[in-house]
Amino acid sequence: MSPEDAVRAVAARAREASHELATATRATKDAALHAMADALLAAGPDVLAANAEDVARAEADGTPANIVDRLRLDDARLAAMAQGLRDVAGLPDPVGEVVRGSTLAKGLELRQVRVPFGVVAMIYEARPNVTADAAGICLKAGNAVLLRGSSSARSSNAALVAAMRGALAATGLPEDVVQLVPGETRESVTALMRARGLVDVLIPRGGAGLIASVVEGSTVPVIETGVGNCHVYVDASADLDQALAIVLNAKTQRTSVCNAAESLLVHRDVAREFVPRVVTALQDAGVLVHGDEEFASRDGVVPATDEDHAAEFLALEISAAVVDDVEAAIAHVRRFSSGHTEAIVARDQATIRRFVAAVDAAAVVVNASTRFTDGGEFGFGAEIGISTQKLHARGPMGLPEMTSTKYVVVGDGHVR
């Protein structure tokens, strides 16, 4: 069987299994989630042994230590994965929710009801916890899931999926609602991108290159996630102590995440006071500043190129520029934003209203860190990624975002 046929066969089994899952009750799905959590813990030794193989292979290949760390599982991380599944069981079932309803002019009853997509495919890198998270969220939303992890996590993912499938069989749901995609190759990604009609939605999570290639090439509808060139704009009306704390938190609290700040804009009227303070504070925190001429006059600041202003560093680096006013800040954001999260620090109400209205992004944050754009912080209980596209879902995606809707129209012999 060709790699493409192998992927299509798995997708066809997912489609078949999705029919039964789509009409399963919440009680059945929650029982399955708890059984999957139990199974992960019971399979702990097998999973950790498989993970040790992946870690050893990564280390032998000279993989950077921070990537190896993301790959590594231990008892605590396994327990967190199991708890994540139990947390999803505790969330309301999105399926069946009546989004709107009315009685139409001729007496027909109309309801718009949440329904599962059907089959969701996830393409992701390194971290094995995504395997359990995605399986749990998709299952609760009534979707069969196809998991295409990275080759570096092959053994870990196989062990995790085997444990979860065993639990499904025992609870009466079809095992094939959770499946690994065969082959962690480029071909398996291409096959998923071509599986229109078998796969309803494709969600790439990972580096910008992976996401761009899926978005450009897929015939299956895609939800684009996670590239964040997030800006913090410090207005002339800002409380500068607050601004300093927000910039530092947004840049340094965690650097490898899509909601970290990558670009700093400072209003010209406060540049003389604020630029030296923020440069010193950032440098003290180990941050390399790529600045425009106003910033680059400071020791240790390197000149910023357009590439720097557009960059998602995911590291202790930031681009920085002085702007004449809020309109110039908005224009800079429009030019370089990836549409993830854009923040303003300001006290002037009119300036805040203008920035919030004019900036087009998944999240616009006022007087707070960009790091708050997160399903957990938003209280969603579970997050499958952060959408940076405008269609269907934008921002952190929880259970409702993993559903579609259908209209149910009930009459009594009505004709037009």
Phi, psi of 52 (to 5 degrees): -60, -35
Q: Maximum Cα–Cα distance for the chain, whole Å?
A: 80
Angle between the N-to-C axes of helices 129-140 and 75-90, in degrees from 0 to 180, rounded to the nearest 10? 10
Interface stretch with a second copy, choices 60-68, 85-93, 99-107, 180-188 (CB under 8 A): 99-107
CA distance 368 to 345: 7
Which residue among 9, 98, 350, 391 contacts a second copy (CB under 8 A)? 391
In whole angstroms, give the CA distance from residue 88 to residue 128: 18
Q: In whole angstroms, what is the distance from residue 265 CA to residue 322 CA?
A: 6
Nearer residue to a second copy within complex by CB, 66 or 349: 349
409 scored as a contact of a second copy (CB under 8 A): yes
**Cα–Cα distances in angstroms (integers) from residue 243 to residues 232, 262, 266, in the given order:** 9, 15, 10
Which DSSP string do the residues of 204-223 spell out, in sequence order?
E-S-HHHHHHHHHH-SS-B-
Q: Does 26 bind a second copy (CB under 8 A)?
A: no
The span of 37-45, 67-75, 171-179, 386-394 binding a second copy (CB under 8 A) equals 386-394
Decide whether 215 or 316 has the Cβ nearer to a second copy.
215
Nearest distance, CB of residue 396 and a second copy, angstroms: 8
Q: Does 392 bind a second copy (CB under 8 A)?
A: yes
Contact flag: residue 185 with a second copy (CB under 8 A): no
Q: Which segment (2-10, 30-38, 112-120, 261-269) binds a second copy by CB under 8 A? A: 112-120
Which range in 32-40, 57-65, 128-136, 243-251 contacts a second copy by CB under 8 A?
Answer: 243-251
Q: Among 32, 322, 365, 384, which residue sits at the site for a second copy (rule: CB under 8 A)?
A: 365
169 binds a second copy (CB under 8 A): no
CA distance 378 to 395: 10
CB atoms within 10 A of CB 337: 21
333 binds a second copy (CB under 8 A): no
Given candidates 108, 169, 285, 302, which one binds a second copy under the rule CB under 8 A?
108
One of 63, 185, 242, 283 touching a second copy (CB under 8 A): 242
Please tell me whether residue 8 adopts helix, strand or coil conformation.
helix
Query: In angstroms, how far is CA 126 from the centroid of its own chain?
Result: 14
User: For a second copy, which residue of 23, 83, 151, 256 counts as binding (CB under 8 A)?
Assistant: 23
Query: What does the angle CA 239 – CA 240 – CA 242 come to, to the nearest 5 degrees?
Result: 70
Interface pick for a second copy out of 102, 123, 125, 267 (rule CB under 8 A)? 102
Answer yes or no whether residue 416 interacts with a second copy by CB under 8 A.
Answer: yes
Q: Does 408 bind a second copy (CB under 8 A)?
A: yes
Instruction: Please tell me whether residue 209 binds a second copy under the rule CB under 8 A.
Output: no
DSSP line for 257-271: STTSEEEEEEEHHHH
Residue 335 phi/psi, 5-degree rounding, is -75, -40
Render the burial of 133-145: b for 16+ CB within 10 Å, e for the rest.
bbbbbbbbbbbbb
Using CB under 8 A, pick the residue from 186, 196, 272, 335 that binds a second copy.
196
Which listed range, 38-46, 183-191, 247-255, 261-269, lies at the site for a second copy (CB under 8 A)? Answer: 247-255
Cβ count within 10 A of residue 229? 23
Q: Provide the minimum distance between the beta carbon of 101 and a second copy in the complex, in angstroms, as a whole number.
A: 11
Contact between 368 and a second copy (CB under 8 A)?
A: yes
- Rounded to whole angstroms, the Cα distance separating 362 from 391 reads 11
Answer left, alpha or beta for residue 172, where phi above 0 means left and psi between -120 and 50 means alpha. Answer: left
Q: Is 405 in the site for a second copy (CB under 8 A)?
A: yes
Q: Which of 326, 172, 163 is nearest to 238 (CA)?
A: 326
389 secondary structure, DSSP code: S
Identified binder of a second copy from the candidate list 105, 209, 307, 349, rule CB under 8 A: 105
Q: Would you count residue 277 as binding a second copy (CB under 8 A)?
A: no
Q: Does 395 bind a second copy (CB under 8 A)?
A: yes
What is the amino acid identity at position 322?
Answer: V
Nearer to a second copy, 131 or 143 (CB): 143
* Phi and psi at residue 118, to the nearest 5°: 125, -85
Residues lying near a second copy in the complex (CB under 8 A) are found at 19, 22-23, 102, 104-105, 108, 110, 112, 115, 117-118, 196, 200-201, 215-216, 219, 221-223, 239, 242, 245-246, 248-250, 253, 334, 356-358, 360-369, 371-373, 377-379, 389-392, 394-395, 404-416
